[in-house]
């Protein structure tokens, strides 16, 4: 009986979970209060709760180009990850913003492909998948916004470790990219109170695959050279679903958040939030053996996940600093079917929270902002 590799803790999806937005305001025009808060349209991205961390505060004032950098440290029982997410954005019109996020990361952790194997420590790092974002304020009061972001597969997704002739492909949580494009659509709404603001966001993320020019799986001449090629798995220009060239599948997902920002103290904004994510299908993983095409349902798939977030902005108008802490809560993974490892049934089931993992992993983040020109 084969079993999938075992990775304790949540997969590190937070790397593509933050898309940041900023202002193209005139240097002599003060920033609108709370302009940098919200979900996809103002301070975060959807398609999975991830760590749920997004900037909530009064941001910076002035400047044609805004830079925002988040540094995050995510740690679990047998893994850790360090990521840096610089985001640069401009505001071509008063109600639209465009930007780009260029993530860099480092992963360390324990990998065990079979339960009868000895766990092995692995390390990866480098450039991740780059994202481009666009948002537009709607309504006369500017309380709502619509957004879209596109992630492109710039990060390596077939990182291998091991001896020559016997290398194994690392799990997706150790990869620097997904091998997929991903489109996220979002809606955000804010409501002011006497000393703060309520923020609501909803999002839908849809991964897909493209080879518009070559029309071929990029591993046709290497990993899959001995496999008879037929169908859109190996030869395609566009696939409307999230299967990458190794056979791993990422389902679409819906996400959302509710957060409250409190500004009752001068120069400080505190925030509390809850983010959720629900995948619309079961994730599949590729074979860990190089040259073997054997995708199967991910036994670590989570049918739902939440993230509880606390944030603290030190609201300097020229150089604000943001600190945040995130605690994930998710359902207990169903595990592989003992009789049929290709059955999705155990993963589709909604289970109670994985109580043993609560408090065993967390993310801490430090963000800074600045405007130029």
- Under the phi-then-psi rule, with left for phi > 0, alpha for psi from -120 to 50, and beta for the rest, what region is 15? alpha
Locus of tokens 């001449």? 221
Confidence label for 120 from pLDDT (cuts 50, 70 and 90): confident
Which one, of 131, 135, 36, lies nearest residue 85 by Cα? 131
Q: What does the pLDDT look like over 167-188, one tens digit per residue?
A: 889 999 899 999 999 999 999 9
pLDDT recorded at residue 100: 97
Mean pLDDT of the 58-74 span: 88
Better-predicted residue by pLDDT, 59 or 61 = 59
Q: What does the pLDDT look like over 31-43, one tens digit per residue?
A: 333 433 332 222 2
pLDDT recorded at residue 260: 97
Confidence label for 12 from pLDDT (cuts 50, 70 and 90): very low
Contact (CB, 8 A) for 178 and 208: no
Question: CA-to-CA distance for 272 and 261, rounded, in angstroms?
Answer: 7
Length, in residues, of the chain = 373
Dihedral through CA 251, CA 159, CA 227, CA 300, nearest 10?
Answer: -40
pLDDT recorded at residue 116: 66
Question: What global pTM score does this model have?
Answer: 0.85
């Amino acid at each position: 009986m084969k079993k999938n590799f075992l990775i304790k803790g949540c997969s590190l999806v937070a790397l593509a979970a933050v898309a940041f937005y900023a202002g193209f305001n005139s240097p002599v025009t003060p920033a609108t209060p709370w302009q940098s808060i919200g979900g996809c349209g103002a301070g975060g991205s959807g398609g999975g709760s991830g760590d749920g961390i997004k900037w909530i505060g009064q941001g910076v004032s002035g400047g044609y180009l805004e830079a925002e950098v988040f540094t995050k440290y995510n740690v679990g029982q047998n893994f850790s990850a360090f990521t840096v997410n610089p985001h640069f954005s401009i505001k071509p019109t008063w109600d639209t913003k465009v930007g780009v996020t260029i993530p860099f990361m480092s992963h360390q952790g324990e990998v065990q492909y079979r339960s009868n194997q000895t766990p092995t420590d692995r390390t990866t790092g480098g450039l991740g998948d780059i994202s481009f974002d666009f948002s537009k304020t709607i309504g006369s009061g500017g309380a709502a916004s619509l957004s879209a972001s596109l992630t492109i597969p710039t990060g390596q997704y077939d990182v291998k470790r091991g001896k020559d002739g016997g290398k194994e492909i690392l799990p997706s949580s150790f990869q620097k990219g997904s091998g997929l494009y991903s489109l996220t659509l979002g809606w955000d709404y804010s409501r002011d109170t006497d000393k703060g603001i309520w923020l609501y966001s909803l999002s839908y993320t849809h991964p897909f695959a493209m080879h518009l020019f070559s029309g071929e799986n990029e591993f046709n001449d290497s990993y899959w050279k001995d496999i008879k090629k037929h169908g859109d798995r190996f030869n395609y220009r566009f696939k409307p679903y999230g299967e990458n060239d190794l056979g791993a599948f990422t389902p679409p997902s819906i996400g959302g958040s509710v957060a409250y920002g409190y500004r009752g103290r001068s120069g400080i904004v505190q925030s509390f939030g809850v983010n959720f994510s629900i995948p619309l299908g079961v994730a599949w993983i590729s074979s860990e053996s190089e040259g073997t095409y054997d995708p199967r349902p991910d036994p670590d798939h989570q049918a739902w996940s939440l993230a509880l977030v606390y944030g603290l902005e030190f609201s300097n108008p020229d150089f604000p600093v943001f600190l945040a802490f995130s605690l994930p809560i998710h359902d207990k993974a169903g595990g592989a079917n003992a009789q049929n490892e290709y059955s999705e049934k155990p993963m589709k089931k909604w289970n109670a929270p994985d109580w043993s993992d609560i408090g065993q992993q967390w993310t801490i983040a430090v963000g800074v902002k600045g405007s130029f020109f």
